[in-house]
């Protein structure tokens, strides 16, 4: 029997870590955070998906573990939505699915160091994956954001804002100087780059819904 009663309580064990500043760029390893069902068009066997009990929303919860730099081993979570109530008028496809597929493409581009516009045979081959399970363990470059809480019972928290391809001015390549596993020290995103990325992104709630299965507002209308 392992008796833990005599172990002294750490004075800092319950203190929350300060938030990583909004716009910080880091490298990290992607891991799935579990799910309860399979979505065949994304994977034939992996139970990485969750469903809302109130809407048609479906998503993949992921956790990014930062490697190297000031925030080494810190985790940042996100939900990648792959289905929702709102339908894109041009394609007739769920808006959530379109955004989710673009996010998955961004992850693959970042992991392989691909230019987002590179359509060479080599780049196209790297973008053909067996299923989302191929994303497990990929090391990518991403931007950290802050999700503001509207409920006083809960605090603001860090979320993944976006994944950066190799052609991004702020892309951190693998094996850069400084930090464990070759990841460089995290650096704030330049203001101009931040503004350009915000203009291209869907509303912040697009991928920031909670694990409770709350459907983002953009996916409802």
Q: Give the model confidence (pLDDT) of 41-94 as tens digits.
A: 898 887 899 999 999 999 999 999 999 999 999 999 999 999 999 999 999 999
In a domain, 8, yes or no: no
Q: Using CA atoms, how far apart are residues 28 and 212, in angstroms rounded to an integer?
A: 25
Q: Using CA atoms, how far apart are residues 108 and 163, in angstroms rounded to an integer?
A: 9
In a domain, 17, yes or no: no
> Tell me, what DSSP letter sits at residue 56?
S
Contact predicate 64/142, CB 8 Å: yes
Burial 112-140 (b: 16+ CB within 10 A, else e): bbbebebeeeebeebeeeebbebbeebbb
Count: domains in the chain = 1
Q: Using CA atoms, how far apart are residues 102 and 55, in angstroms rounded to an integer?
A: 22
Q: Using CA atoms, how far apart are residues 31 and 46, in angstroms rounded to an integer?
A: 13
Q: Is the pLDDT of residue 164 over 50?
A: yes
In a domain, 92, yes or no: yes
In a domain, 13, yes or no: no
In a domain, 177, yes or no: yes
**Band of pLDDT at residue 193, cut at 50, 70 and 90:** very low
In a domain, 16, yes or no: no
* 137: containing domain: 24-219
**pTM listed for this prediction:** 0.75
In a domain, 99, yes or no: yes
In a domain, 73, yes or no: yes
Q: Is the pLDDT of residue 35 over 90?
A: no
**Band of pLDDT at residue 9, cut at 50, 70 and 90:** confident
């Amino acid at each position: 029997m392992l008796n833990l009663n005599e172990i002294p309580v750490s004075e800092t064990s319950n203190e929350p870590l300060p938030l990583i500043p909004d716009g910080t760029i880091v490298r990290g390893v992607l891991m799935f955070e579990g799910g309860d069902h399979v979505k065949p068009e994304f994977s034939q066997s992996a139970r990485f998906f969750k469903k809302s009990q109130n809407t048609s929303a479906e998503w993949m919860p992921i956790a990014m573990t930062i490697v190297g730099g000031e925030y080494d081993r810190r985790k940042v979570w996100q939900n990648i939505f792959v289905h929702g109530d709102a339908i894109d008028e041009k394609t007739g496809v769920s808006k959530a699915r379109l955004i989710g597929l673009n996010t998955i493409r961004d992850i693959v581009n970042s992991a392989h160091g691909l230019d987002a516009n590179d359509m060479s045979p080599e780049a196209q081959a790297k973008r053909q994956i067996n299923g989302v399970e191929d994303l497990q363990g990929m090391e990518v470059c991403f931007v950290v954001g802050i999700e503001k809480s509207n409920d006083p019972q809960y605090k603001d928290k860090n979320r993944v804002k976006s994944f950066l391809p190799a052609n991004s001015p702020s892309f951190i390549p693998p094996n850069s100087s400084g930090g464990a596993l070759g990841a460089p020290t995290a650096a704030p995103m330049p203001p101009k780059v931040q503004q350009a990325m915000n203009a291209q992104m869907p509303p912040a709630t697009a991928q920031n819904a909670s694990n409770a299965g709350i459907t983002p507002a953009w996916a409802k209308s």
